[in-house]
Structure 1
Amino acid sequence: MEGSADRHAGGLRADTPLIGRRTALRVLDGALDSAAGGSFRFLALSGDPGAGKTRLLGELADAAAARKHPVLAGRAAEFEQQMPFGALVDALDDQLEERRPALNPATARLLSTVFPALTGLAADPYGDAEAPAPQLAPDADAGAADAEGGPGPLGIARYQLHRAIRHLLEELASDNGLVLVLDDVHWADDASIELLGYLVRHPPRARVLIGVAYRPAQASPHLATLVDIAGEHGVSVSADPFTPAEVEEFLGPGVTRARCQALYEASGGNPFYLEALARKEGAAEPSRAEETGAERWGALPDLGEITELPPAVRTALRVELSGLDETSLLVARAAAVAADEFEPALAAAGAQLPETEALAALDDLVARDVVRPAAAGRFRFRHPLVRHVVYGSAAAGWRLAAHARIARHLAGLGAPATLRAHHVERSAGFGDREAIATLVEAARTVAPQAPATAAHWLEAALRLMPEAGPGDEDGPFPRVRLLVELAHAQTVSGRLVEGRETTRTLLRLLPPDDHARRARAVQMCAVIERQLDRHQEARALVLDELHRIPDPQAPAAVLLRVRLVADRLMRVDIRGAQAVLDRMPENAPDWQPGLRVAVASLRVLPAYAAGRVADAVAYAEAAERVFAAAPDSHIAEALDTVPWLCWTEIMMGRYDDALRRIERSIAIARATGQTSYITYLLNAQARAYTLLGRLDEASDAAEEATETARLLRSGEGLVFGLTQQCLVASWSGDHDRALRLGEEAVGGDLGAGEWWGAMARYARGVALINAGRPDEGAVAVLEACGDPAAPQLDPSTLLTCAEMLAYVESCREKGGDPGRWAEIADMLGGLGLPADAGLVRLARAHAVRPSDPAAAAALATEAGALLAGAGRRIEAGRAELTAGLAHHAAGDRDRARERLRAAVALFDACGARALSAQTVREQRRLGVRVASPRRGGRGEAPFGLSPREHEIATLVAQGCTNQQVAEKLFLSVRTVETHLSRVFGKLGVSSRVGVATALNARAAGRDS
């Protein structure tokens, strides 16, 4: 805090010397040094109100500017806490306006949903305010245009936006680094805190320092733990009160030591409080007339109620406010109502004054240092506490009217509903249909990026609405539909308990005989209950409603049975699932179109898991026909069941069908806002990519699934995502990370008795085996399999377990029994699927390798061919490695070299680094000279490429154009061209073909 000295616009820099803070300044300098050295840093500065956090952020900004680092600064505001990404917009919007022409179009479309500077880049970026919204009884045509014509307003996933902002920060930091300073983050909306959480978990790959300041007593748990989440990238510092000696230095030599001590005791060493008291010391006591004027305007009676300021500080601020004339105080109050950073016209509208009078009053307020000039002709209060005091000093009725005046003024200017909603919420009366319309429009606009804010505004709209009555459903804002939207917004923002209560309210509102909509509401509530890990409650809810439906074959009853089938499949209760399916026809004339899709999706897995492969194939082909004929709007109604079909197709080796269906379903889920199902689809996609050896793509899908689950705060979804991330990291060779992910997946002890919980334990076991801890891994894998009479894993994963356990047993020096697991694999793999046949032969190869290496080599070679033909490249590589080792043991060195060379090629193509390194070691034992990979400075990029350059070079080698590379990496085409020119120089090539040749030659692992 800089005392009474003026500050530069924006309030971050000060002209006066800083008092104390030596420890804090050392931490700030250390963070800047680390960022300048190329390491991302997240700096959390905490302190009580008025403790001097803003001044310390100013010192950080000055130090960064002295090092030639660009500094961007923003601030959240107390009375605009529902504005999505408010602090980020404050910091970045002007930069985006300058960079607008160079932005990649895809990135610009994403960012335009948040940043005003980019509005208009995408045609109608938010779509119609009336659609699409979740519905209880979806019309067959509702939302079809959005779902089939590309992502609509709900198609912009928060995760995608987070990635786009991370890439934007990397772009801004590409030349001289970047320091992003965000003040008063305790007032930031949930969407901003979610974004910060993403950035500390996935740091920008550039010289970026993000510094945030907040009050610890008002910080959300998520905000308070960001430094811990950041790990080695995080650093924290606190703004502590002044010591008595620092108070004396702050006040200067003109104040006696006794008075300094008294002011220290009154302020507690808080710089803002001290400044307020010092201002009072330098001011004349108000006259009786001034006090009377202050009382008339409400400054004195209300001040003690609006903040927990110490009495002496309250008195000091009373003196400061009472010194204003009536017009200046009126404008100050209107400005406090208007915005954190306000334009004079807005303050004039709130005060009901001509703008010329408001400007004259602002001159007085600036002269008295109540407000200070900001950027572009706007103003800000000198400190948020001053605004807080001024706002609270106004009478409640006057504030209500001022908010209404400002809302009307903004409406007259054509301001979007998102800017008006804050004022409408605080001024609208019960039954005000125009206010309801504004709040609903604002909620639907921000729902994709800030669902917590959308929920807040929908709640406000519902509070203004009369109870449902005749004709309510025919009005523009039927209560039932808004409750559905509210439950959806609450759920996708992670407020699952609130979403559950909203759906239960919805059930109480719906008539008992409205079976169709009640079934939809129960389905929604049951999904939320599962997200809360309340599986028994979800089943009980469905069964209770099912018993209320008189016709067991009615569409509503079938819909609820679909939910029961999915529940039984999750518990690996195959017989129970089949029993429910047997009571359902495949189709009926009165079914909603989505119901047929749902039933077709669920029929495949029970047949496959029961060993009826021919039936499973027939059901899968029938489901394919249903999907091919169905428009997206029909599939949108059945997205809770589609992941089961996709997962089953993956288990059966129908990867192309599964991936095609997953991509279509993800697009539909995004277009219709059904975020909770995206996690299951993305995890299925990650699983397919992992099995196919497309580990980079698997990593992206699993990361997005995990981040989406974190946003939803879904324990089940998070475990699913961590499981796939663990498997990808393990096969990629990042064993430490795989083990961390595996421990996190099983750490909450979620999913007991259910398939997804067993999959987490299986993934941890695989990670342990691949990390060189086979005994522990074997125990974990066995635990995941469960009781042989009631296995917890699907047949495909059980077969994989048997093959891996045969491998572990074959590696034991004595006492191993790989033959037992080979027999189990033979029993599990009798379904006739190509990949299964390959795994069975590989398990047999493990079993006979110790006693008959030649036979093992033949079996493993045969297994490699089968697995490669099925697309399972990593397992095909493992089979080739096994064959090479067996040939070596049998004395056939030439064939051993041949098989090992084939294994290296497969592992390198997949990115399975540890397996590739293991195979190279075996090659060297055979006398094969293998060149060591060239490494760049930091990290593992070859040819001296930076991580970004290697990323771009890899995409170019895959045949992507510069435009396609830009869209994939959220860069501008110009940036891609700049990086590519550096790639040419480092690789010594002059064309894109040369880049592909260089990278492919390295990937092939050629002998030197």
Structure 2
Amino acid sequence: MAGSESLVAEVVAVVTAPPAVVVITGDAGMGKSWLVERVLDAAGRGRVVVGCRGLPDGPYVLVRELVSGLGRGDPGPVLAAVEADELHRVCEALRDLLDARLVVVEDVECADHRSRQVLRYLVTRPPEHAALLLTWTPGAEPPLGTRLTSAASTGVHHVEVGPLTAAEVAALGDGSHADEVRELTAGVPVLVRALVNHLEHDGPREALARKGIPQPIAELVDERLSRLPERARQVVDAAALSRGPVSVPLLSEVCGLGPPEVETALAAAVDAGVLVSTDGRAFAFHPPITGIAVVRMLHPVERRRLHAAYVAALRQRDEDALPDLVFHSRLAGELVAAARYAERAAQHTNPAEAVELLQELLSEPDLPRPERGALAVRLGRLALSSLAYDETVALLRDILADGRLPAGLRGELRLDLGLLLGNQAGDGDTGRAQLRIAVTELARRPALAARTMSALAVPFWGNCHVEEHLRWLAEVERTVPDRGDPVLLLATAVNRASTLAQLGDPRAWDAIAALPDDGATTGERRELLRGCANFSDAAIALGHHAAAADFLTRAADLAGRSGPSYPWQMATSNRLRLDHVTGRWDGLVERARAYLESATHTTFVAVDASLVLAQLALARGEWDEAEEYLGAHGLRSMNGWYGPVVICAAATRVRLALVRGRGEEAVGELSAAVEILRLKGVWAWATELVDAGVEALLHTGDLPRARRLLDEFAADVEGRDCPFAHAMVPFGRAAIAAARDRLDEAAALYGEAATLLAALPRPYEQARALEAAARCLPPSPGQLAEASRLFTALGATWDLARCDHLVREHGGTTGARPGRRGYGTELSPRERQVARLLALGRTNRQIAEVLFLSPRTVERHAARVLHKLGAPDRDALRPEDHS
């Protein structure tokens, strides 16, 4: 019960200080009786307890029960007054008899009229040493009159018990299904507790399907249903089989009753607390678990008959009724008809709902093979754009296990399975294995075969050399038909352009330009959206940032006209990466975190956000947080997925290990990633890794290996269209020159890299190049000032501190200038940096290491931070307040 302990204490305090009257109200199941029991346990005084539910009809029945329960005193005057039906005498005599007792009357709404009048008298004139505790369930008419049951009535303590909050529901179990439990039960405590006790490892709906309805819930629902007339029960049974709120006209057709009869039945169901009106025109079960229980109480034959009645009633309705027709046809046992409706629904329903419908229908073991195969193909196509894929993968595998399917159909299903595994699941090797088999199975279906081969050509997929990808690309160009399904042909063209773009092949731009600006159908628009996501991914890695922004703008337009999809999730995550590399860091942490929270169905795609957060944390000197983000599933190469995010994550791990003084670990991370790249045979998207790798090898004194790594990288990218790589080659050459004490040469190369990086733009790497150039010579005030400006604009706390430290080492000054006003009670930029690191739990020594300060200086800053913020200690600080 919500606030249970404080509520018990509140009521006990009232009833132990007579005279007192407490009225407890709340819907059935909210815990009124539980509260009474707890109060009785704690009150510790003489009591009489009477429940009104189930008492026989007749005047003064409750009064007689109270007298019988007292067990002491002379009941004669009360009973004599009752026999004479002298109401005032009954009231006075009972009041005298109740002195010094705790009187509990439950379910007052069920008491007879005369007894209610007596209770009303006692409530307004409670005995001097007695306390009254009454409970009632709200209904059409307050049992003690409007005034005495209102919150404004003088001298009466009102306690209303309500539903549990989500947090209170979570506290009753392990919390993993709290939202769904609360949705099903509406937070009604008795229902919540029964359902939570019913759960094991699966969710609430799965537990209800597997184990049936918990006994306390079944009893509560049965008790409510028992109050209904037969006609109302018939209408409630039909309403329970609806997929959602149901209207009077539809129930009228299903039940074969006139609308007035249905309205009368629904009114009775509402009065009994079984149904609620959602908008005055439709009715639903509240809480929803009530409807589930009603369905379970129906005989299977009656359930099937009612589902068939729904089909007959819905058959002539518009396309919006198709999902309902699939649902009712399936449960009526009309599987062929259900398949027919599902085919139509897949064309007119949003993809997520269509995927769910098809999954449910395909799980029917009696679905005939022809319909099963056709629906599986439809499901596979839809699932390629879906945000959820696990169930579809399992279904496709089960269907492919049927060796009697025709080869062409098997190939089409296997193509979808391979694409799901390689895309949504990030299992490139397993996906490619399925695609290779599909190519053979699709020998007589050239458009599908070409689509399959085009997927095998994509370089990010699979533990194989780039030459294999190029062979598949050549095979596509040789065999793709001139005519066929426009969506298939467009998908093949998108994959060809994606392959060329990922390889940094200059022909990619012509291939992209040859694609249509828009699609005639939703399927074509989704393929173009997928292309824009792929192209932006490659463009960010290669350094074509303006083009990446254009692709993402176009993707947003296409997504707005084709609905939510997996490719749009890809494009959204690519936007985070583009904002990071181009220096749009303001608010990026919040956007990346929000994306992680929302992308629960696409955790593999969401790793882009984890990478961005790790890179931002590293630049701010928040190394523990960076390491945590780098642990996200999908940020290490696995199962043949070698896209830019995986390689950038490896580069970030190398840098993190270096700053933490773990040189051997940095070189180990580098070696593992370089082995992958050599196996793949293409370096176009490995620029950040090579940059970090050269730094790590020079740091550990391995100059020859650093030169070999850079030479191998430079040789591969020389003929590729990858401006970021071309900008970082002189950066790496400069680092090697500096390691060989060729400082003039190094400074010139760093300057060349900074110019190229500014043109992309890549402001973070540009600032690093300017800072490194200044280290090669007596510090150039202009270069250091520009590097400091860029690091400041980005919010790269750690890099800025390192840059400022270089200035101080050479006798320069940073921070405030003479004549500049102080910050007063506001935090200075340095104090904000210290405050954030304090809030993250760093010690003074750790902060000093990040900000290149002495521990004593940090101690002074920390004292000023706490003073200005009025914080008693470091534990009172929060990181988000100082971002």
* Shorter-chain TM band: 0.5 to 0.7
Q: Is residue 566 of structure 1 aligned with residue 546 of structure 2?
A: no
Corresponding pairs, count: 666
Residue matched to 1:215:
195
Distance 1:388 1:518, change over 3 A: closer
Residue matched to 2:395:
501
Residue matched to 1:293:
none
Pick aligned residue for 1:884 from 750, 754, 774: 774
Are the counterparts in 2 of residues 647 and 684 from structure 1 also a CA contact under 8 Å?
yes
Residue matched to 2:437:
544
Q: Is residue 825 of structure 1 aligned with residue 710 of structure 2?
A: yes
CA distance in 1 between counterparts of 2:311 and 2:170 reads: 27
Report the secondary structure of 2:334's partner residue: coil
Are the counterparts in 1 of residues 387 and 565 from structure 2 also a CA contact under 8 Å?
no
Residue matched to 2:673:
785
Q: Is residue 804 of structure 1 aligned with residue 692 of structure 2?
A: yes
Distance 1:546 1:840, change over 3 A: closer
Distance 1:786 1:427, change over 3 A: closer
Residue deviations 1:321-378, cap 9 Å, x none?
66766456546545655688888888777665566666776777788x6648777769
Query: What is the Cα deviation at residue 789 of structure 1?
Result: 8.6
Residue deviations 1:31-57, cap 9 Å, x none?
xxxxxxxxxxxxxxxxxxxxxxxx9xx
Pick aligned residue for 1:447 from 328, 332, 350: 350
Are the counterparts in 2 of residues 183 and 213 from structure 1 also a CA contact under 8 Å?
no
Residue matched to 1:487:
380
Residue matched to 1:417:
321
CA distance in 1 between counterparts of 2:703 and 2:680 reads: 22
Residue matched to 1:739:
627
The 10-residue stretch of structure 1 (405-414 or 846-855) with the greater mean CA deviation from structure 2: 405-414
Distance 1:495 1:746, change over 3 A: closer
Q: Show the 5 A alignment for 1:87-486.
A: 215-216=195-196, 307=213, 309=215, 326-327=230-231, 329-330=233-234, 333=237, 336=240, 371=274, 390-402=294-306, 416-417=320-321, 420=324, 424-425=328-329, 428=332, 430=334, 447-448=350-351, 450=353, 453-455=356-358, 459=362, 468=370, 482-486=375-379
Are the counterparts in 2 of residues 565 and 581 from structure 1 also a CA contact under 8 Å?
yes
Pick aligned residue for 1:869 from 745, 749, 759: 759
Query: What is the Cα deviation at residue 882 of structure 1?
Result: 1.5
Residue matched to 2:565:
675
Distance 1:853 1:464, change over 3 A: same
Report sequence identity in percent. 18
Distance 1:734 1:466, change over 3 A: same
* RMSD of equivalent CA atoms: 6.0
CA distance in 2 between counterparts of 1:543 and 1:536 reads: 11
Report the secondary structure of 1:751's partner residue: coil
Are the counterparts in 2 of residues 342 and 379 from structure 1 also a CA contact under 8 Å?
yes
Pick aligned residue for 1:843 from 717, 721, 732: 732
Residue matched to 1:257:
none
Are the counterparts in 1 of residues 583 and 794 from structure 2 also a CA contact under 8 Å?
yes
Distance 1:844 1:678, change over 3 A: same
Q: Is residue 524 of structure 1 aligned with residue 397 of structure 2?
A: no
Query: What is the Cα deviation at residue 674 of structure 1?
Result: 8.6
Q: Show the 5 A alignment for 1:840-989.
A: 840-849=729-738, 851=741, 853=743, 855-887=745-777, 890=778, 892=779, 895=780, 897-923=781-807, 926-931=811-816
Distance 1:525 1:708, change over 3 A: farther
Instruction: Report the AA paired with residue 496 of structure 1.
Output: D
CA distance in 2 between counterparts of 1:794 and 1:604 reads: 17
Distance 1:933 1:572, change over 3 A: farther
Residue matched to 2:515:
627
Are the counterparts in 2 of residues 766 and 781 from structure 1 also a CA contact under 8 Å?
yes
Query: What is the Cα deviation at residue 528 of structure 1?
Result: 2.3
Query: What is the Cα deviation at residue 881 of structure 1?
Result: 1.8
CA distance in 2 between counterparts of 1:626 and 1:906 reads: 39
Instruction: Report the AA paired with residue 447 of structure 1.
Output: N
Query: What is the Cα deviation at residue 765 of structure 1?
Result: 1.2
Query: What is the Cα deviation at residue 422 of structure 1?
Result: 9.0
Residue deviations 1:667-726, cap 9 Å, x none?
54675569344455455554444332334597688668766864146x5x4556644553
Are the counterparts in 2 of residues 183 and 214 from structure 1 also a CA contact under 8 Å?
no
Report the secondary structure of 1:744's partner residue: coil
Report the secondary structure of 2:633's partner residue: helix
Pick aligned residue for 1:657 from 543, 547, 552: 547
Distance 1:569 1:629, change over 3 A: same
Instruction: Report the AA paired with residue 928 of structure 1.
Output: T
Instruction: Report the AA paired with residue 529 of structure 1.
Output: L
Q: Is residue 765 of structure 1 aligned with residue 653 of structure 2?
A: yes
Q: Show the 5 A alignment for 1:574-723.
A: 574-585=466-477, 589-590=482-483, 616-617=505-506, 619-627=507-515, 631=519, 636-637=526-527, 645-665=535-555, 667-668=557-558, 671-672=561-562, 675-695=565-585, 710-712=600-602, 715=604, 717=605, 719=607, 722-723=610-611
Are the counterparts in 2 of residues 865 and 876 from structure 1 also a CA contact under 8 Å?
yes
Instruction: Report the AA paired with residue 670 of structure 2.
Output: L
Query: What is the Cα deviation at residue 874 of structure 1?
Result: 1.1
CA distance in 2 between counterparts of 1:765 and 1:874 reads: 17
CA distance in 2 between counterparts of 1:609 and 1:345 reads: 57
Distance 1:429 1:537, change over 3 A: same
Residue matched to 2:638:
750
Query: What is the Cα deviation at residue 562 of structure 1?
Result: 1.6
Query: What is the Cα deviation at residue 902 of structure 1?
Result: 0.7
Q: Show the 5 A alignment for 1:36-47.
A: none
CA distance in 2 between counterparts of 1:401 and 1:606 reads: 55
Query: What is the Cα deviation at residue 878 of structure 1?
Result: 0.8
Are the counterparts in 2 of residues 374 and 380 from structure 1 also a CA contact under 8 Å?
yes
Residue matched to 1:48:
none
Query: What is the Cα deviation at residue 762 of structure 1?
Result: 0.8
Residue deviations 1:216-254, cap 9 Å, x none?
466696979xxxxxxxxxxxxxxxxxxxxxxxxxxxxxx
Are the counterparts in 1 of residues 418 and 435 from structure 2 also a CA contact under 8 Å?
yes
Instruction: Report the AA paired with residue 798 of structure 2.
Output: A
Report the secondary structure of 1:745's partner residue: coil
The 10-residue stretch of structure 1 (930-939 or 702-711) with the greater mean CA deviation from structure 2: 930-939
Question: TM-score if structure 1 supplies the norm length?
Answer: 0.52
Residue matched to 1:279:
none
Instruction: Report the AA paired with residue 215 of structure 1.
Output: L
Are the counterparts in 2 of residues 458 and 486 from structure 1 also a CA contact under 8 Å?
no
CA distance in 2 between counterparts of 1:835 and 1:919 reads: 23
CA distance in 2 between counterparts of 1:603 and 1:410 reads: 46
CA distance in 1 between counterparts of 2:466 and 2:198 reads: 49
Report the secondary structure of 1:795's partner residue: coil
Are the counterparts in 1 of residues 241 and 295 from structure 2 also a CA contact under 8 Å?
yes
Query: What is the Cα deviation at residue 838 of structure 1?
Result: 3.3
Instruction: Report the AA paired with residue 734 of structure 2.
Output: A
Q: Which has the higher contact order (CA 8 A, sep 6+)?
A: 1
Are the counterparts in 1 of residues 246 and 284 from structure 2 also a CA contact under 8 Å?
yes
